[in-house]
Structure 1
């Protein structure tokens, strides 16, 4: 009987030791995410989902426990921040300035960032961290063939050579002050060789099929990964900048300053060519955004860790 009890005790002790070891390893496999809990939000489109997932993975890798509240529509992420139901999300400086703060557009990226950061701090108690070199703005895309043939690199070049260019319109752009109407006021008339309305979803196929030379675009669309497309430089600055920056509740940064270090380190690695490739992996290659963000984070993981630990 004594031998039996001793055997049971020994077996139980061994089981406890093994279980403890397994739990410890499980914790290590998740980046030791035993630190403060952070809720990351996102908007409801590919780019925001990818960016938010990169933020989440970076925070987890640096000791934070992360909850994800993604796919929030409209200006819901800002409202969720104010309510405290999320702690941070990626926002665009142009949106913050003109939509949330309802201020007139500015056209210098630093001026936009500085104004947004100051007013968010004062009005909302939100910290706008470092902006990444990602500008998801309105733009015009031309085929490389037409760009090379007619020497068109800027919108000013386009205006001078419009009579050689077939324009694929989406209809609504032509009636907007931040569209063709605004372009005419800033650059002059655009007397295109031809203009035809197409559904925006097929514009790149229209360009590939040589049915048109020019289309309306946003400057970080995944299809721009294709080298046969060129985004024209808005050299007279019709369109305000829409740079990406993490917006975080002030109390989170006060309680956990390392959050800022981690997210600023992530932003330092991002730019337009990078986000275009990531968007393309989701929208064109049909990969899951979690996989795309995770694979990318692995390429910057060591640098983010080093910067966050300084």
Structure 2
């Protein structure tokens, strides 16, 4: 059954494919049901739902959705351990630095090719072409803060960095490569206070002046709805 599922998915979907037991995931997964893993973000859960609907429509095979997997590592482990068959959304830069434990690659095509080849060689996972959008980490401030400190790019934060409270995903603070320590090395400064928080809370927090700066996702709709200012990553620290 697993082989049959792989044939169908290779033909139809631009996503991750692998033929997972983790806390919160079913340990007795039905091989007749195609299990699709999604993360905590709205973007990922929408894609998970779309993939599920397409599989059922075009193949007639039943699916199940496993959402709220907190990190890329958990999603990856779900595939490796065969608790899930598909990860509906994974990000090239994160896979290079976190899953593959390699140095960040700044060229988008090279990063994609390396991640595709390495994931196949190491884990027998098949990476398909991009959905066509680029979602990366971005530092965000509200308009008042941008005007107050004349902020346009990340390096502009250096002069006032010791005065700033920055909200970010807890995982980013400790992860290697494109995490906080890597940021300090690349930009040459650190912030006065780092406040770990769930990624979904950062947008409202900075809009309401609960924090001065946050690290969020560039494609999140709350960037526009809160009229937040994205600071240019002028040293191209965050991988594609």
Give the TM interval when normalised to the shorter protein: 0.5 to 0.7
Quote the offset at 1:206 in angstroms: 4.4
Structure with the largest fraction of helix: 1
Aligned to 2:64: 68
> How does the TM-score come out when normalised to structure 1?
0.52
Residues 102-155 of structure 1 deviation map (CA, whole Å, 9 limit, x = unaligned): 322222221111011112233333221111344443331111233356542221
Q: Distance in 2 between matches of 1:157 and 1:148?
A: 12
Q: Mean alpha-carbon deviation: is it higher for 131-140 or for 232-241?
A: 131-140
Deviations 1:169-193 (A, max 9, x none): 2497778774554434323446x7x
Question: Following superposition of structure 1 onto structure 2, how do residues 1-310 of structure 1 map, counting pairs within 5 Å?
Answer: 39-46=34-41, 47-71=43-67, 73=69, 75-82=73-80, 86-90=84-88, 91-148=90-147, 150-159=149-158, 162-163=159-160, 167-170=164-167, 178-179=178-179, 181-189=181-189, 195-196=192-193, 198=195, 200=197, 203-210=202-209, 212-221=211-220, 223-241=222-240
C-alpha separation in 2, matches of 1:52 and 1:98: 23
Number of equivalences: 200
Q: 8 Å contact 2:166–2:194 — kept in the other structure?
A: yes
Distance 1:174 1:102 in 2: 16
TM-score by length of 2: 0.64
Q: Give distance in 1, aligned partners of 2:47 and 2:67.
A: 12
Q: Which runs of 4+ in 1 moved over 6 A?
A: 171-177
Question: What secondary structure does 2:141 align onto?
Answer: strand
2:142 and 2:154 map into 1 onto residues whose CA distance is 14
The verdict on how the C-alpha distance between 1:124 and 1:104 changes in structure 2, with shifts beyond 3 A counting, is same
Partners of 1:216 and 1:137 lie apart in 2 by 10
Partner deviation per Cα, 1:56-82 (whole Å, 9 max, x = no partner) = 112333344231141374545434434
Which residue number corresponds to residue 250 of structure 1?
Answer: none
**Counterpart-to-counterpart distance in 2, 1:72 and 1:199:** 18
Residues 95/224 of structure 1: CA separation in 2 closer, same or farther (3 Å cut): same
Greater Cα shift, 124-133 or 169-178: 169-178
Q: 1:80 to 1:164 in 2, by over 3 A?
A: closer
Give the superposed CA RMSD: 3.6
Whether contact under 8 Å (2:52, 2:65) holds in the other structure is no
Structure 2 alignment gaps of length 5 or more: 1-31
Flag the structure with larger Rg. Answer: 1
Identify the structure with bigger relative contact order (alpha carbons < 8 Å, sequence gap 6+).
1
223-232 vs 49-58, which moves further: 223-232
Name the counterpart of 1:282: none
Q: CA–CA distance in 1 between the matches of 2:213 and 2:227? A: 12
